[in-house]
Amino acid sequence: MRSSTHSHPAFPGRGRLLVVTLAALAGLSACAGFEPEYRKPGAQRLTGPEVSTLLGGHTLSIVNARGKSYVNRFSKDGSIVISGGKGNEYGHWTVSGDRYCLTLEIDPRQQCMEIYKLPDGRYQMVNADGSLRNTFTVD
């Protein structure tokens, strides 16, 4: 019988497999638990008149879904100036039904979004496909 001074685990790599498995499970549970704030209890979708009152003549401080900050200035005449890292963009806004709609000079396609008021006083714009567009406060 040979004796060995080295010990060999019965299942090589088992510890690494356990760590990878636990990390994957933690990631899955975090994803499953994520729910956009506008879908949580207490968030309220604004009506068309509420959207008009909220935006017209006001300035919004916005953080988009990728973390970039912008300032949007809404005039009561329907013009908008969006200020961000790339300078100013200009366009027009309107309310259609209960949705805020935006058309930029650089992109003539109209984009319409729902707006939700969150319990903490912030707001979120939601794209037509249900994805979060941005979170904002009114200055």
Nearest alpha carbon to residue 134 among 46, 65, 45, 38: 65
* 16: in domain: no
Residue 14: per-residue pLDDT: 55
Domain coverage including residue 98: 41-138
Give me the amino acid identity at 4.
S
Domain count, the chain: 1
Nearest alpha carbon to residue 86 among 71, 73, 98, 66: 71
* 94: in domain: yes
* 5: in domain: no
Nearest alpha carbon to residue 72 among 84, 64, 86: 84
Give the CATH number, domain containing residue 99. Answer: 2.40.128
Residue 36: per-residue pLDDT: 81
Residue 127: per-residue pLDDT: 95
| Confidence category of residue 34, pLDDT binned at 50, 70, 90 | low
Can you read off the two tokens belonging to residue 5?
Answer: 């001074």
For 136, phi then psi, to 5°, come to -150, 165
The dihedral region occupied by 76, where left means phi > 0, alpha psi between -120 and 50, and beta the remainder, is: alpha
Cα three-residue angle 87-89-91, rounded to 5 degrees: 165
Nearest alpha carbon to residue 126 among 136, 73, 26, 14: 136
Report DSSP state, residue 21.
H
Give the list of residues 6+ apart from residue 133 with CB closer than 8 angstroms, or none: 64, 65, 113, 124, 125, 126, 127
Residue 15: per-residue pLDDT: 53
Taking residues 63-69, report their average pLDDT: 91
